[in-house]
Structure 1
Amino acid sequence: MSVAGSYDCVTKSPMGDQTSVLTVNVDGDSWTGENAGQMGTLEITDGKVDGNTLTWTMDMKVPMPMKLECEATVDGDSLTGTVNAGAFGKMAMTGTKKA
Structure 2
Amino acid sequence: MKRRIFTTVAFVCCFTICLAVVADLSGKWTGSLKTPNGDFALNYNFTLSGDKVTGTAETPQGTINITDGKVTGNDFTFNVDVNGMPVPNTCKYYPEGDTISLTLDYSGYKMHSTLKRSTK
Larger-gyration structure (1/2): 2
What is the letter of the counterpart of residue 40 of structure 2? Answer: Q
Q: After the TM superposition, which parts of structure 1 deviate over 4 Å for at least 4 consecutive aligned residues?
A: none
Aligned residues: 95
Is residue 2:25 matched to residue 1:6? no
Answer 1 or 2: which has greater strand percent: 1
Q: Secondary structure at the match of 1:9?
A: strand
Distance 1:15 1:39, change over 3 A: farther
| Per-residue deviation, residues 32-60 of structure 1 (Å, max 9, x unmatched) | 10110223222100001111112001111
Answer 1 or 2: which has greater helix percent: 2
| Matches of 1:72 and 1:54, distance apart in 2 | 5
Choose between structure 1 and 2 for higher RCO, CA contacts under 8 A separated by at least 6 residues.
Answer: 1
TM-score by length of 2: 0.71
Instruction: Find 2:112's aligned residue among 83, 92, 95.
Output: 92
The residue number in structure 2 matching 1:49 is 71
Instruction: Find 2:104's aligned residue among 83, 86, 93.
Output: 83
| Matches of 1:15 and 1:67, distance apart in 2 | 21
What is the letter of the counterpart of residue 100 of structure 2? Answer: L
TM-score by length of 1: 0.85
Identity %: 28
Gaps (5+ residues) in structure 1?
Answer: none
Gaps (5+ residues) in structure 2?
Answer: 1-20
The residue number in structure 2 matching 1:26 is 48
